Amino acid sequence: MFKFEHVKYKDIIDIDNLNINLGEVTCIIGPSGSGKSTCLRLINKLISPTTGIISLNGENIANINSVEYRRKVPMLSQSPVSFPGNIRDNLLMGRKFQGKNEVSDSDLQNALDKVSLDEPLDKNIENLSGGEQQRVSIARLMLLDSDIFLLDEPSSALDDITEDFVIKSMVNMAKSQNKTIIYVTHSNSMAEKYSDRVIKIVDGRVNNG
C-alpha cells in the first residue's frame, strides 16, 4: 500500500495520515486548486514532500531510483503530450521507455477498442481531436507493463457516454488483472460508480466529512 505520513508540500499539501490500498481503484476528487494534481505528482515522485514520508509497501519512495520507480508507477498527466507520428507510434512510445518488446497491431487495435477509438493505427496523431488524443494517451498508459497506474483527469475532454465507457473499461482491466488505479476526476458520478474508494481533497487536506 501507499502510505502518507505527516506529508507536507510547500503550503499546498498537508496530509497527516493516508493509506491507499493496492489492487483497488481509488479516486481523488475535490475543488479546482485543492491539490489533487500535486498529490498525484507526489505519488509519481515528480515532486518530493517538503516534510514527511510517502512509502510503497513500507519502502520510502524517496529511496527508490526515480526512473525505475516511474516505470513501476507511471502517470498520465493532466495535459498529456502526444508525440509526432501516427497512432501506432504513440501507443508504442511508453513501452519503448520501459524497454519492452513491441506489441502486435491486433493488440494495439484491442487497446483502441477499450478506449472506444475507431481510427486506423496509421492515422497521424495531429489529425485527431483533443478527446481522441486523450484516449490514445489512456490506451498508451494501459499498454504499459505496470501494476500501478496514476491518471490525472483522464476523461476531462470526453463526452459523458465516452467517459463512462473508457473509465469502465479501464477499471475492468484493472480488476481482472489485479492492478491498482489512482485517478483524479471532477466527475462525482464517475467516482461513485467506478471506484472502491473516494478520497476528497479540500485545501490540500484529506476531507473526511
Ligand X SMILES: Nc1ncnc2c1ncn2[C@@H]1O[C@H](COP(=O)(O)OP(=O)(O)OP(=O)(O)O)[C@@H](O)[C@H]1O
3 forms beta bridges with 19, 55
d(CA 128, CA 97): 23
d(CA 166, CA 82): 19
Task: Please identify, among the stretches 29-37, 89-97, 103-111, 118-126, the one whose residues bind ligand X according to the rule CB under 6 A.
Answer: 29-37
Residues between 183 and 202 that touch Mg ion (CB under 5 A)? none
Nearest alpha-carbon partner for 114 in 169, 160, 177: 169
Nearest alpha-carbon partner for 74 in 113, 34, 40, 101: 40
Residues between 5 and 64 that touch Mg ion (CB under 5 A)? 36-37
- Cβ of residue 152: shortest distance to Mg ion, in angstroms? 6
Q: 162 contacts which partner out of Mg ion, ligand X, none, CB within 5 to 8 A by kind? A: none
Q: Which of 6, 19, 33, 172 forms a contact with ligand X (CB under 6 A)? A: 33
The answer to whether residue 37 forms part of the interface with ligand X (CB under 6 A) is yes
Q: Whose grid coordinates read 487495435?
A: 109
The answer to whether residue 90 forms part of the interface with Mg ion (CB under 5 A) is no
d(CA 184, CA 156): 10
Nearest alpha-carbon partner for 78 in 119, 41, 49, 114: 41
Q: 85 contacts which partner out of ligand X, Mg ion, none, CB within 5 to 8 A by kind? A: none
Looking at the Cβ atoms of 32 and 177, the one nearer to ligand X is 32
Task: Please identify, among the stretches 36-44, 105-113, 115-123, 142-150, the one whose residues bind ligand X according to the rule CB under 6 A.
Answer: 36-44
**Residues binding ligand X (CB under 6 A):** 12, 30, 32-38, 78
